[in-house]
Amino acid sequence: MISKNRSARGQAGFSLMELLVALVILALVMGVVGPRVIGYLSRAKSQTADVQIENIKASLDMFLLDVGRYPTAEEGLSALIEPVLAAPGWAGPYLDEDTVPADPWGNAYRFEVEGGMKAKVYSLGRDGAEGGEGEDADIGL
């Protein structure tokens, strides 16, 4: 008795046209939303780099307070994690991680000491080269 009623009303389900309309609507929404999401992701990477640089700078300041100097170019940022023999007073590790974090694009952060009393930590951005705009821009300079 149930099968007779179904055949009288037509079959339940979606037609091919309804499915195509739904797919077109989804494609239009993704065409509008997709570029915005990609923009948010690139901005998030730059913001992550900013936060990591500030964290490393704070760790360098703690190193300076304990040792009386910033790490040398030879010691590098790894002096924040591993004890330095030539640095009496070292009370690290100064970073929570087991290794110095890489920037969000997988490159090592650059570290320079200017005049012995000013540390500069920066990332060269996505392209790994000086200068650039957007996601390729240098961060921390």
Q: CATH number for the domain including 54?
A: 3.30.700.10
Distance (Å) of CA 10 to CA 4, 5, 7: 10, 9, 5
Is this structure's pTM higher than 0.75?
no
Residue 17 maps to a domain: no
Position with higher pLDDT, 26 vs 13: 26
Averaged confidence pLDDT in the chain:
83
The values of phi and psi at residue 36, to 5°, are -65, -45
The residue to which tokens 């989804």 are assigned: 26
Residue 32 maps to a domain: no
pLDDT in tens, 34-80: 777 776 776 888 888 999 999 999 999 999 999 888 988 888 899 99
Summarize the confidence of residues 20-26 as an average pLDDT. 91
Residue 84 maps to a domain: yes
Residue 84 banded pLDDT, cuts 50, 70, 90: confident
The residue to which tokens 């690139």 are assigned: 42
Structural domain boundaries enclosing 105 = 45-136
Number of domains in the chain: 1
